[in-house]
Structure 1
Amino acid sequence: MLLVALLCHLLPMLFQYGGASAAVDADSSLQFSRAASIVMVIAYFAYLIFQLWTHRQLFEAQDEDDEEGENASEEAVIGFWSGFVWLLSMTVFISILSEYVVDTIEDASDSWGLSVSFLSIIVLPIVGNAAEHAGAIIFAFKNKLDISLGVALGSATQIGMFVVPLCVIVAWILGIKMDLNFNLLETGSLALAIITTGFALQDGTSHYLKGFILLLLYIVIGACFFVQRTTSDHGNHIASITLHSATNANFKA
């Protein structure tokens, strides 16, 4: 799923290297991004059906027998409709807050001397998803790596295959020209992160060295955006990244 998201982000960027004029490249990238966004949303809903319905057993924990007694004593704190109301309320609340973040991020970049990319790609996701990160660490300490990986990879899949294309589709409806081209540096960082994570998980084992290497990879990517000093960040990039962080925090809360 993440490689499909990477492909759909990579191809619009490659239009500018195709040799055609800039106007043709921009129009082709926009048209392809809209078509790819529809495909990505369809693929994400197919993924949800696969995970929650047709092949649910593939995503269940392997040690269910050991946890049967523990789970039997657990009771739901709130009901379905109560949870749905809370989720809906927090969605509206976080959406309002995200508007304020979008309006102030450029001023924060100027006053703090940091690039907009670093604030929107590194700082905002860390702060906005603090509860999610804490939960993943707690589950990892309890040796429930299935849940920890579900939090990490599930969030990345949700953002890459649903939130980003949904932003493009909504912008299309509103008459805003927003595509999937997030420039070479952002797309390259995404590609290297996905490939490295895939290699780390391919043998199905986990140890501290893998986690340390992945952490160093994140630090290197963060350092790259920290030293970046460009003023070409456009408004739709800011809005989309901010919406990614806000929506991700809401869904996982």
Structure 2
Amino acid sequence: MRQKLFFTGLIVMFALSAIGHFAGFDMTLQFIISAIAIVFVAGFLGKATESVAHYAGQRLGGFLNATFGNAAELIIAIFLVKEGLFDMVKASITGSIIGNLLLVLGLSLFAGGLKYKQQKFNNQLAEHNSTLMIMAVIGLFVPAVFVGAEHFSLAKDHFLSLAVACILIVSYLLWLVFSMITHKDVLSDTEMNADHGEEPAWSKGTSIILLIVATVMVAFTSEWLVHTLDTFTERFGLSQLFVGAFVIAIVGNAAEHSAAIMLAMKNKIGAAVEIAIGSSLQIALFVAPVLILVSTLFGDTMDIIFTPIELTAIGVSVFIAKSVSRDGNTNWYEGFLLLMVYIILGFAFYLV
């Protein structure tokens, strides 16, 4: 009965969001409808991911959730890049990274910790994730410092951005080979691979098809919601930096929010961490560099130079997330601390 009501709500809200977009409803009303719709769609994506994870394993399931969740954000960002809205793109990248490390991971640890006194996952995986997070910070920090200090020409700026982008992409792809193939057994997690006697919601084939359908729905609802942001921003006096770093990022991360929290509350904290941290790493090491390469194809290269404010937010997020997750043990208070850092950054960004 509950599942029937959920899918009824999913279909109704998705249809209303589509009608509101194409019929030209008031922008604020469109924003509200699309925001509610994306909550349902994100829940659908979370259910499909969990069902796929039952067959593929929790670690691979977490990776798939992060990938499919970021697919919608990548699509939106490509449209923004095509329009030359580079500052908005960088702000949304920043927001996605800090949103996953602080909001998604924080809510997962908090919700899971309230139900289970202590949750554990593979500490070697935690150490590798920490190292990769530092690599991501280096990849974003070094170009900003050198370009700013040496006053590079536009040609040098673009060359350095493209070089760093290619290096980050190669590093991420080799991480997938390392973690999923050559060192798969070392980084495996017994708890992550346990199904706790649960039965999957759908068959393997149906789960894969529904995962694809859910991703497409996320892409559409996200695009419809982003379409309302300019008017919404002006009407409520919000800055583009705040909208890009928090509003767009929260919407883009809606899929990860629901899936990670559900898994954490089922004591599958390893999979939840894989979704939250894995998604941040994917954004920093793959999505952001890919957008730089895509912008070159459009004829106007977007540099990889982030502002001091954005770099500070990313650096602070990586520092606290690394401190919390490095030992492979989590509890509700650590989740609470992550959420408090996110709120601090939210107030700071709002006042910019």
What's the TM-score once normalised by structure 2's chain length? 0.56
Per-residue CA deviations over 1:185-228 (Å, capped at 9, x if unaligned) read 01111011101111112233222221111111011111111111
Per-residue CA deviations over 1:132-190 (Å, capped at 9, x if unaligned) read 21221222222221111111101101111111100001111221120111211011110
In 2 relative to 1, CA 172–206 (structure 1 residues): closer, same or farther, beyond 3 Å?
same
Return the match for 2:178 from 50, 53, 66: 50
Moved more, 132-141 or 99-108: 99-108
Q: Which amino acid aligns with 1:181?
A: I
In 1, Cα distance between equivalents of 2:223 and 2:192: 43
1:8 aligns with 2:139: yes
Q: Is the 8 A contact 1:15 1:29 kept in 2?
A: no
In 1, Cα distance between equivalents of 2:287 and 2:262: 26
In 2, Cα distance between equivalents of 1:58 and 1:115: 46
Alignment-derived partner of residue 202 in structure 2: 77
Q: Which amino acid aligns with 2:188?
A: E
Q: Is the 8 A contact 1:117 1:225 kept in 2?
A: yes
Secondary structure class of the residue paired with 1:160: helix
Alignment-derived partner of residue 160 in structure 2: 32
In 2, Cα distance between equivalents of 1:140 and 1:132: 12
Q: Is the 8 A contact 1:13 1:29 kept in 2?
A: no
The CA deviation at 1:84 is 5.7
The CA deviation at 1:44 is 1.2
In 2, Cα distance between equivalents of 1:130 and 1:181: 27
In 2 relative to 1, CA 20–128 (structure 1 residues): closer, same or farther, beyond 3 Å?
closer
Secondary structure class of the residue paired with 2:230: helix
Per-residue CA deviations over 1:36-81 (Å, capped at 9, x if unaligned) read 111111111111111221111233223479x46x45x64572445x
Alignment-derived partner of residue 258 in structure 2: 134
In 2 relative to 1, CA 64–18 (structure 1 residues): closer, same or farther, beyond 3 Å?
closer
Alignment-derived partner of residue 30 in structure 2: none
In 2 relative to 1, CA 91–130 (structure 1 residues): closer, same or farther, beyond 3 Å?
closer
In 1, Cα distance between equivalents of 2:169 and 2:224: 27
In 2 relative to 1, CA 142–85 (structure 1 residues): closer, same or farther, beyond 3 Å?
closer
In 2 relative to 1, CA 46–19 (structure 1 residues): closer, same or farther, beyond 3 Å?
closer
Q: Which runs of 5+ in 1 are unaligned?
A: 229-253
Alignment-derived partner of residue 160 in structure 1: 284
Q: Which amino acid aligns with 1:77?
A: W
C-alpha RMSD of the superposition? 2.6
Q: How many pairs are equivalent? A: 221
Per-residue CA deviations over 1:106-142 (Å, capped at 9, x if unaligned) read 3322122111121121122223322321221222222
Alignment-derived partner of residue 217 in structure 1: 341
In 2 relative to 1, CA 7–109 (structure 1 residues): closer, same or farther, beyond 3 Å?
same
Secondary structure class of the residue paired with 1:217: helix
Alignment-derived partner of residue 180 in structure 1: 304
Q: Is the 8 A contact 1:2 1:161 kept in 2?
A: no
Alignment-derived partner of residue 20 in structure 1: 151
Secondary structure class of the residue paired with 1:58: coil
Q: Which amino acid aligns with 2:146?
A: F
1:119 aligns with 2:243: yes
In 2 relative to 1, CA 135–101 (structure 1 residues): closer, same or farther, beyond 3 Å?
closer
The CA deviation at 1:5 is 1.6
Q: Is the 8 A contact 1:37 1:169 kept in 2?
A: yes
Alignment-derived partner of residue 322 in structure 2: 198
What's the TM-score once normalised by structure 1's chain length? 0.76
Alignment-derived partner of residue 63 in structure 2: none
Q: Which amino acid aligns with 1:186?
A: E
Q: Is the 8 A contact 1:189 1:221 kept in 2?
A: yes
Q: Which runs of 5+ in 2 are unaligned?
A: 1-131
Alignment-derived partner of residue 169 in structure 1: 293
